[in-house]
């Protein structure tokens, strides 16, 4: 069973826990930052909002589904909500696996599905 941890909160995203099990050979990570431009206009910050229980449920289901095709040891997803300034991280995902191929595949597929099915929204921007 793949261990899944999901955090959706307004705290600043911290570096991953790197504790490695001796059977873990690979850690693939993705961090998404707020860029200084949204829809062609300069911004200073974004606001993210979540339907929190559903977002967690959908992410957990997606990850379990993806793990069947791409066996990994653990996944940790942290999505920040509230006001996030340019240059700060909005999302961080860490996937630990025995080998790198399933870790990369699960990470990329999860990000694609997240952007289709997980009820989290950019709701506002602050102009720069």
Partner 1 sequence: MTVLYFAHARRIAAVTQEEIPVAAPLSSSNFWDLIIRRHAGMAPLRASSRLARGNDFLPPDAVIAPSDEIAIIPPVSGG
Binding site for its own copies (CB under 8 A): 15-16, 18, 20-37, 86-89, 98, 100, 103-104, 107-108, 111
Token pair for residue 17?
């826990």
Q: Residues 108-127 vs partner 1: string with x where CB under 8 A? A: ---x--xxxxxxxxxx----
**H helix or E strand, kind and range, residue 48:** strand 41-50
Question: How far from 119 is each of 8, 13, 24, CA to CA, in Å?
Answer: 12, 20, 31
Q: How far is the CB of 22 from partner 1 (least distance, A)?
A: 18
Q: Does 20 bind partner 1 (CB under 8 A)?
A: no
123 binds, among partner 1, its own copies, none (CB under 5 to 8 A by kind): partner 1
- Rule CB under 8 A: say whether 58 interacts with partner 1: yes
Q: Which residues, including other chains, have CB under 8 Å from residue 55's CB and lie 6 or more apart?
A: 8, 79, 118, 119, 120
């Amino acid at each position: 069973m793949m261990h899944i941890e999901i955090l959706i909160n307004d705290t600043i995203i911290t570096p991953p826990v790197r504790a490695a099990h001796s059977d873990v050979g690979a850690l693939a990570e993705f961090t998404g930052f707020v860029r200084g431009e949204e829809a062609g206009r300069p911004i200073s910050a974004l606001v993210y909002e979540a339907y929190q229980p559903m977002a967690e449920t959908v992410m957990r289901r997606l990850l379990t589904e993806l793990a069947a095709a791409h066996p990994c040891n653990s996944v940790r997803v942290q999505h920040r909500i509230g006001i996030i300034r340019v240059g700060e991280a909005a999302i961080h995902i860490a996937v630990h696996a025995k080998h790198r191929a399933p870790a990369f595949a699960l990470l990329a597929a999860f990000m694609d599905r997240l952007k289709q099915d997980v009820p989290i929204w950019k709701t506002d921007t602050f102009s720069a």
